[in-house]
Amino acid sequence: MSFKRRVQLFITFLVLLVSTVLTASYLYQQDKILTERSVHSSQNIKNIFDMILKDLDHFYTYRAYANLRSAGIKEAMLSRNKQELYELTLPRYRTLRAENPDLFIMQFHASDGRSILRMHRKEVYGDDIASRRPMLRASHSSRLVKTQFEGGLEGIAYRIVVPFVDNNKYIGALEFGIDPDYITGKLMETTGMEALFMLHNSRMAAADIEKYPVEYNEYRFSHFGSNQRALVENYVKDNPEFNQRIIHLGDKDYDAIPIYVVGSDGKPLGLLLCFNDLTRGTEDIIRIIAGSFMITMIMIIVLIGVIEYIFSRMMRKMTFQEKYIETIMNAQQNLIIVMDEQNIMYINHAFLEYFHYRTLDEFRKEHGSICELFETGDNESYLHSEMEGMIWTEYVLKYKEREHKTKMTIDGKTSTFTVHVQMIEFENKHHFVVVFTDITKLNNLATLDRLTQIANRFEFDKMLGYSMSVSRRYMRSLSVLLLDIDHFKHINDRFGHLIGDEVLKSFSTLLCQQVRQSDAVARWGGEEFIILLPDTSLASAIKMAESLRQRIEVNPFATVGNLTCSIGVAEFNPVEEADDLLHRADQQLYRAKNSGRNRVMA
């Protein structure tokens, strides 16, 4: 199956999935929607409740001050002339009652806490009411307006106590009491919800018994219809703490929202219970689902069209870009690979041709990583799999200013490459583009002696510097042999320079055959050669030099016959520099020559 066909099937599946999810989401997430509405409803109702109380506070505080500051009120209160006070206040009381029939308490209090006049029951007066009412005591003591639900002779009411102070003299206080039904009525009028005031049995006063005749589950109600009873029963069922919840009654859903009513003593008196109808009709739900489904389908169809168009454009562009990049990479003579931290992901044609593979998979079957093919170099610029605790790609990136090289041998042919790495970060993963540039010819020209094809003096200096740093770091021994062909001038004079050059070539080949793979042979100049011996003490170096001298002495050289050589040996001292080591080796060579040649001096 083609890639495009798979994408088309995926889009078709996505269309069906989106349609199903959107439809099912509405059907099965109703409880979540109702809960969210419930949170908003709860906060709104509580805000409205607070607003109603705040309006009552402001209105009756203003009315109290207007009444207390009227002519004759202060004198009547000071003299406790209840009849005069009653006659002065009655017109305002009637007006207030006409404005709000649920205002059923208006009472004057003396500064000592006794009742002066109850407008609603003027025959009861003179009692020490403050001793029974914490709210009154607090207002008398602080001389501040106090508002709260509190019980009394007339029962539970929302009370507003306004103290009267004149010229810093406390005269007394005026109290208003509003029936809780006024607040439930306001809530119902403002929100359109069903609302009930539930008074707890433990907070009932004598006056409340007649007013709240219906009892249910330790609470009493002023009225309690059948529908209200069913709502309350569903609310309290399995809800002992009276928390807000959504209840189901018949084919409707209600958000039951409690507002706890606290008395002046800080203890609960009861609660206002509001029921918010969250139900939508069945036809409304079907219409919304159908509309949502149609809109969803239209959007999906448009989306499929857009995706199909974008996909076709992107595929064309990506195909062109991939072909473009592939062509550029395959046109390069350099070896190019793209890899992550472990595996090779892409190679160019030059890479396959160099390693004699047809595909990347063939290469992977025989090699886990390209660094397996890196050969150990003779100086620190040559890479190996780990360097300074880092993988080789990270090392190259960290030290971009350095020249990084590697050697790789294929079919007996060793090539030298410079290595450049560029990092690409994609989807929080690191990828590396590595370019290997073959510098074998340039490297040979720069590092090999043109005549003998062994390392020249410049290359030997680098190898010596690297070996000295390794010797210092790891406390390893290191020695050098400085060789000079005895009486080489006579060979040039007798046989000519061309024969002399052939002797130098043969001599260098013989040296390379006799040393270890870890050793390095270089032409020092003219007929002088130098050999670098890593991990070799002075005693071992002398032994090797003597063996080498004997081998040269018995080796027949074409045209000229047998030759001899003088050898100076020196061991590296970590405190000295390269010139010091070479100078000591040179001194030993001259000792050997001055002592009769064909010998080793150390």
List the 146-150 sheet strands across, edge first.
115-118, 103-110, 169-178, 157-166, 146-150
Rounded alpha-carbon distances, angstroms, from residue 504 to 197, 451, 566: 119, 8, 15
CB atoms closer than 10 angstroms to residue 161: 27
Cross-strand pairs, 116: none
pLDDT score of 535 more than 90: yes
Pairwise CA distance, residues 553 & 563, whole Å? 6
What are the structure tokens assigned to 98, written together? 């006409």
Residue tagged 């810093």 (tokens): 168
CA pair distance 189, 339, nearest whole angstrom: 73
pLDDT for residue 377: 63
CA atoms within 13 A on the CB side of 353: 10
CA distance 322 to 82: 103
Average pLDDT of the residues in 549-557: 96
Judge whether residue 322 has pLDDT over 80.
no
Q: In what side-by-side order are the strands of the sheet with 268-277?
A: 214-216, 219-221, 194-200, 268-277, 252-262, 245-249
**What is the 3 state secondary structure string of 302-341?**
HHHHHHHHHHHHHHHHHHHHHHHHHHHHHHCCCEEEEECC
% of the chain exceeding 70 in pLDDT: 92
Q: Which residue has the higher pLDDT, 233 or 600?
A: 600
pLDDT > 70? residue 328: yes
Average the pLDDT over 229-244 and give the result: 87
All structural domains of the chain with their residue ranges: 30-277, 332-443, 452-601
- State which H helix or E strand residue 291 sits in: helix 282-331
Residues 6+ apart with CB under 8 A from 380: 466, 469
pLDDT at position 36, please? 59
The one-letter code for the residue type at 96 is: L
Question: What is the 3 state secondary structure string of 213-228?
Answer: CEEECCEEECCCCHHH
Q: Where are the alpha helices (DSSP H) in 198-261?
A: 206-211, 226-236
Asked if residue 37 has pLDDT above 90, the reply is no
With a cut of 80, say whether residue 11 has pLDDT above it.
no
d(CA 173, CA 307): 77
pLDDT per position as a tens digit, 539-552? 999 999 999 999 99
Architecture label for domain 332-443: 2-Layer Sandwich (3.30)
Angle, CA of 337, 338 and 344, to the nearest 5°: 85
SS3 label, residue 272 = strand
- Which of 337-341, 349-353, 544-548 is the least confident region? 337-341
Q: Cα–Cα distance between 508 and 451 in angstroms, integer? A: 10
Task: State how far the Cα of 212 lies from the Cα of 210, in Å rounded to an integer.
Answer: 6
> pLDDT tens for residues 356-395?
899 988 898 888 788 888 887 666 668 888 888 888 888 8
In the structure encoding, which two tokens stand for residue 440, read together? Answer: 């074998």
The pLDDT score that the predictor gives to residue 600 is 97
Query: Would you give the end-to-end CA distance of the chain in angstroms?
Result: 78
Q: Mean pLDDT lowest for which of 37-46, 228-237, 455-464, 500-509?
A: 37-46
Q: Which helix (H) or strand (E) holds 571?
A: strand 565-571
What's the pLDDT band for 281 if we cut at 50, 70, 90? very low
User: 41 near 276, Cβ under 8 Å?
Assistant: yes
- The per-residue pLDDT for range 178-194, each reduced to its tens digit, is 999 999 999 999 888 88
Say which DSSP state 69 is in: T
Query: Using CA atoms, how far apart are residues 278 and 34, in angstroms rounded to an integer?
Result: 7
Count of helix runs (H) and strand runs (E) in the chain: 18, 25
Whether residue 263 is predicted with pLDDT greater than 50 in this model: the reply is yes
| pLDDT of 138 above 80 | yes
SS3 555: coil
Minimal CA–CA distance to 557: which of 503, 498, 499, 515?
503
Averaged over 460-477, what is the pLDDT? 92
Asked whether residue 332 carries a pLDDT value surpassing 90, the answer given is no
Q: Quick one: which H or E segment has residue 109?
A: strand 103-110
Is 217 a residue whose pLDDT tops 90?
no
Closest CA to 172 of 67, 91, 316: 67
Q: Of 336, 329, 359, 534, which is closest to residue 419 (Cα–Cα)?
A: 336
Half-sphere CA count of 292, side-chain side, radius 13 A = 16
Average pLDDT taken over every residue of the chain: 87
- Are 296 and 314 in contact by the 8 Å Cβ rule? The answer is no
CA–CA gap between residue 113 and residue 41 (Å, rounded): 42
Model pLDDT for residues 473-530, shown as the tens digit of each residue: 999 999 999 999 999 999 999 999 999 999 999 999 999 999 998 899 999 999 999 9
Residue type, 454: I
Cβ neighbours of residue 136 closer than 8 Å, sequence gap 6 or more: 109, 113, 129, 130, 146, 161, 173, 175
- DSSP letter assigned to residue 87: H
> What residue type is assigned to position 43 of the chain?
Q
- 117 close to 86: Cβ distance less than 8 angstroms: yes
Give the CATH number of domain 30-277; options: 3.40.50.970, 3.55.50.30, 3.30.450.20, 1.10.10.10: 3.30.450.20
Instruction: For residue 481, list its beta bridge partners.
Output: 531, 569
Q: 237 near 243, Cβ under 8 Å?
A: no
Q: pLDDT at residue 13 above 80?
A: no
Instruction: Tell me if 30-277 shares its fold with 452-601.
Output: no
Q: Which of 192, 181, 176, 184 has the alpha carbon at shortest distance from 60?
A: 176
pLDDT of residue 192: 84
Lowest mean pLDDT among 6-20, 210-224, 487-501: 6-20
Q: What CATH fold (topology level) applies to the domain 452-601? A: Alpha-Beta Plaits (3.30.70)
